[in-house]
Structure 1
Amino acid sequence: MRRNIDFAVALGIVVALPLLLSSGSLASEVLIYALAVLGCNLLLGYTGLLSFGQGIFFGLGSYTIGLMLTRTGLPMPLALVASIVLGGLAAGLVGIVSIRQKGTYFVMLTLAFAQMFYFLAYSVPSLTGGDNGLLNIPRPPLSAFGVVLWDNTTAWQFYAMVAAIFLLVFVALHRVTTSIFGRTLLAIRDNEVRASAIGYNVPRFKLLAFVLSGAVTALAGALNAMMVGVAPLANAEFHVSEMILVMTVIGGAGNLAASLIGALFYVLAADWLSTLWPRWLMLLGVLLVVISLGMQRGLWGLIEDGFLALTARFKRTGEIRVEEKQV
């Protein structure tokens, strides 16, 4: 039942975006960052790992798709697969080192890796383009055996492809989080010592969660580079990791549908506030403070509470009407 509700919410938002927004690029941006938040939520919401290294995988996905499409001529689906694989491998390397520590030390390690990757990307302009980034990244059509299956010429055509990929990843991650593996991650999040005591290999489960998170985040970075036609150095900055974490907290940790709601709120709020005031980040900061203080479970928690209150009200109204008829 819960799985059906989550998928219905995700599908409803995906279908509603083209009806509510006039910009296909903005709609694609919402789903792209929602993908990155899905990866972050797998770590924070389900495993209890606060990672500031998501920018590594987002940036790596952008650079990988850029290099594959501009220098190798690899078909776009295979280039996306290459981005996913490299993102997962990089996450595995970062995770092997980071999960050896806990708490603040884990957070600082992921932050250190993020800074190392940023300066590495800056230091090899022959691969990454340095300050300028990788330019002229194409948006090739989806084709097989020389037959074009889907054209990505317009922004809305690209949105349709991103939407299909998002829904596939959403369903796959939902099956992961509701499986025995996902339940084990929740057990580790709630009480790592007890999970280890009953025989679970906690480091292995953490590492697998890290790899999955990195692969999904790299996919988001690859789609972002295709959308804007550039893989900028900014995609590897600490700000990207921070932004993905903020979206996760806004939506609500521990629920995949909340990841989409958090990304939707952040992207649309940033787009709207930027038209009101050049220092719009200050206004966004105030909104985040209000959400953090008043909604501990994020926007998803607020929606759940409102739905439960509304259901209880209708139930009471129905009971009163039944009593009146009996009288």
Structure 2
Amino acid sequence: MTEKNPLAVAKGHGPALLLLLVVTLIGLPLILPSTTLATEILIFGLAALACNLLLGYTGLLSFGQGIFFGAGAYGAALLMIHLQWGMLGALVGAALFGALLALLVGALAIRRKGIYFVMLTLAFSQMAYFLAYTLSGWTGGDNGLLDVPRPNITVAGHVLLDLADPRHFYAFVAVLFLLIFAGALRVIRSPFGSTLLAIRENETRAAAIGYDIRHFKILVFMLSGAITGIAGALYAMLLHFAPLSNIDLMMSENILIMTIVGGTGSLFGSLLGAGAIVLLGDVLSELWPRWLMLLGVILILVVVFMRGGLWGGLADLAKRLRPSPAVDGKTKEQL
């Protein structure tokens, strides 16, 4: 039996995925020891989801996601600090910053393929880091950007949601995550999503039948950059601080690891990967100062024995536990 592609899975189980996501969003703050930890998982889940649009659905391995994450954090913080923009305006600004930078990086990087594309995104990531380090008047340099506000949601001067309360901020991030997830699901189920999968599977054939490959790659880059920018802005608001590490190469690597561990080509897997890495970091760091070695071993085991990531592993487990339907007293295996 051939393996189902992500588009087919999304088409068949879209409502079920949304229901599963709603249950997960409600349950996270109840089962985790901290609402802040649950919020952090959702924020990095957004970043991994954006990366999955590039890697899982288009086949583009980019080390530039930290650029858009950092740009969203710095951009939203500067808009709120210096121009007194509200929450929604700052998030829109972060999305625009991320999309514009993704347009620049993507337009140049997609001129090459394979390892050369990867190296270009890596070079852009390093350039962005040293640029942020140099422009200390805007970014705070090595000290980061301090006193990042977390504006309340207001309408006509009336406070609708006090985001200083961690529970309220989690609820706001959860609703935003649900909306972006539903939008991304709609994208991958659309003809645009089918084209992305065609590019991933055979770029030469997709170009031969008339698709403008560069156009689609740039569009998905911009979409990924916008979502990652929103995630960066939310992370800065969560910490009340925009550190230089937001735009570091390590941030790009972490987002990629979350995407791969959760399962490439799976939107819900992005949340699983983010949750696994954030929780492992939180638990293992208390057990041993060199906890990154333990994390490395765990990642190797996941990659070797769960090729579809956590989502693929759970799907395989569900198939094994599901009883085979009988046909005239015989199972399919017997037939």
**TM-score bucket (shorter structure):** over 0.9
- TM-score by structure 1 length? 0.95
Q: Give the AA of the match of 1:227.
A: L
Q: What residue number does 2:32 align with?
A: 21
Q: What residue number does 2:153 align with?
A: 142
Q: What residue number does 1:89 align with?
A: 100
Quote the offset at 1:5 in angstroms.
2.3
The answer to whether the Cα contact below 8 Å between 2:51 and 2:224 also exists between their aligned partners in 1 is yes
- TM-score by structure 2 length? 0.93
173, 191, 195: which one pairs with 1:180? 191
Matched, 1:69 2:80: yes
Aligned residues: 320
22, 36, 50: which one pairs with 1:39? 50
The answer to whether the Cα contact below 8 Å between 2:86 and 2:152 also exists between their aligned partners in 1 is no
Question: Take 2:114 and 2:158, find their aligned partners in 1: how far apart are those partners?
Answer: 51
Q: Give the AA of the match of 2:135.
A: V
Question: Take 1:156 and 1:227, find their aligned partners in 2: how far apart are those partners?
Answer: 12
Q: What residue number does 1:286 align with?
A: 297
Question: Take 1:268 and 1:154, find their aligned partners in 2: how far apart are those partners?
Answer: 22
Q: Provide Cα deviations, 1:172-219, integer angstroms capped at 9, x if missing partner.
A: 000001100001000000000000000000010000000000000000
Quote the offset at 1:144 in angstroms.
1.8
Matched, 1:51 2:62: yes
Question: Take 2:19 and 2:311, find their aligned partners in 1: how far apart are those partners?
Answer: 14
CA RMSD in angstroms comes to: 1.5
Matched, 1:118 2:129: yes
Which aligned segments of 4 or more residues in structure 1 are displaced greater than 4 angstroms? none
Q: Provide Cα deviations, 1:69-99, integer angstroms capped at 9, x if missing partner.
A: 1111111110110010111011000000000
Quote the offset at 1:297 in angstroms.
0.7
Give the secondary structure class of the aligned counterpart of 2:43. helix
Q: What residue number does 2:313 align with?
A: 302
Q: What percent of counterpart residues are identical?
A: 52
Give the secondary structure class of the aligned counterpart of 1:143. strand
Matched, 1:79 2:108: no
Quote the offset at 1:319 in angstroms.
5.8
270, 286, 292: which one pairs with 1:275? 286
Question: Take 1:7 and 1:151, find their aligned partners in 2: how far apart are those partners?
Answer: 27
Q: What residue number does 2:173 align with?
A: 162
Quote the offset at 1:127 in angstroms.
0.4
Q: Which moved more, 1:250-259 or 1:8-17?
A: 8-17
Q: Which moved more, 1:41-50 or 1:150-159?
A: 150-159
The answer to whether the Cα contact below 8 Å between 1:69 and 1:75 also exists between their aligned partners in 2 is yes
Unmatched tracts of structure 1, length 5 or more: 321-327
Q: What residue number does 2:5 align with?
A: none
The answer to whether the Cα contact below 8 Å between 2:66 and 2:125 also exists between their aligned partners in 1 is yes
Q: Give the AA of the match of 1:84.
A: A
Q: Give the AA of the match of 1:148.
A: V
Give the secondary structure class of the aligned counterpart of 1:296. coil
Matched, 1:189 2:200: yes
Question: Take 1:231 and 1:319, find their aligned partners in 2: how far apart are those partners?
Answer: 63
The answer to whether the Cα contact below 8 Å between 1:6 and 1:256 also exists between their aligned partners in 2 is no
Give the secondary structure class of the aligned counterpart of 2:93. helix
Map of 1:257-272 to 2, 5 A cutoff?
257-272=268-283
Give the secondary structure class of the aligned counterpart of 1:149. strand
The answer to whether the Cα contact below 8 Å between 1:7 and 1:257 also exists between their aligned partners in 2 is no
Q: Provide Cα deviations, 1:119-155, integer angstroms capped at 9, x if missing partner.
A: 0000011100001111001111111221111111221
Q: Give the AA of the match of 2:34.
A: S
Q: Which moved more, 1:31-40 or 1:150-159?
A: 150-159
105, 113, 137: which one pairs with 1:102? 113
Q: What residue number does 2:241 align with?
A: 230
Q: Which moved more, 1:103-112 or 1:74-83?
A: 74-83
262, 266, 286: which one pairs with 1:255? 266
Quote the offset at 1:39 in angstroms.
0.5
Question: Take 1:152 and 1:319, find their aligned partners in 2: how far apart are those partners?
Answer: 59
Q: What residue number does 1:325 align with?
A: none
